[in-house]
Amino acid sequence: MRLQAFLARSGASPSRRKAEALISAGRVQINDRIASLGESITPDDRVLLDGKLIELPKEHAYLALNKPKRYLTTLKDDRNRPTVAELMPDGVPGLVPVGRLDGDTTGLLLLTNDGPFAHHVAHPSSEIEKEYEMTLASLPAKDLEERLATFERGPWLEDGKMLSPKLACLRRAGERTTLNLTIHEGRNRIIRRACAAVGLTLLALKRVRVGPVKLGGLPEGRYRELTEKELAILENIERRDLG
């Protein structure tokens, strides 16, 4: 395992990038020597940060969080903006978000300190569905139908064509139109960029499902443990992709 990944997974550093800074500063030791950037370690190695022994968590945690608006999906922000770290439980070393939601997007965010689990759930090859509730500014019926049809085919974006999403549960109320969108790719701000590309005004975006895990009635800003059934389904997806 790469040393910076070990430091991030252990909770000694909030991210791999921050871990690299610790290593470059000479604060990390492997056994009895100062570590160098880019090194890997084995299970028999002893890793110390500022002279303190660092270990991986002995137990894994798997949580679902309902992320409020304006909270950043990171563990620390240099501008002191609110982050999801403020909503995570204390005393769980190495806990990190699985993937990310941008600051203006609310809803379901998975958290874990199991690195391989996080990687496979977030990786595009797993093709795990992510369902969102989109609120749009209403348009005349014909215009809305045409733009949603273009959206559903998958618009071309600056970084390539969007895979065709699934649209469902269209409902209109006054000047707002709400529908559910299901995708399994996670390019940066892809839904917002796709809306802009087809001329839809996105007013609100909330993730309501990741694979078998549903947001349900989880209060905003709160978290819960994943159920055994939810974990079993996600782990089966991993085994299928690795097989």
From CA 112, how far away is CA 120, in angstroms rounded?
A: 12
Q: Which residues of 100-116 are buried (b: 16+ CB within 10 A; e: fewer)?
A: bbebebbbbbbbbbbbe
Say how far apart CA 6 and CA 57 lie, in whole Å.
11
Please state, in angstroms and as integers, the Cα–Cα distance from residue 182 to each residue in 8, 155, 162, 165, following that order: 31, 15, 12, 6
Indicate which residue of 102, 143, 159, 241 is catalytic.
Answer: 102
Tell how strand 106-112 and strand 202-210 pair up: parallel
Q: How far apart are CA 236 and CA 241, in angstroms?
A: 9
- Examine the residue annotation and report whether 114 is marked as an active-site residue of this protein: no
Distance CA 205, CA 133 (A): 6
Give catalytic residues, as residue numbers: 102
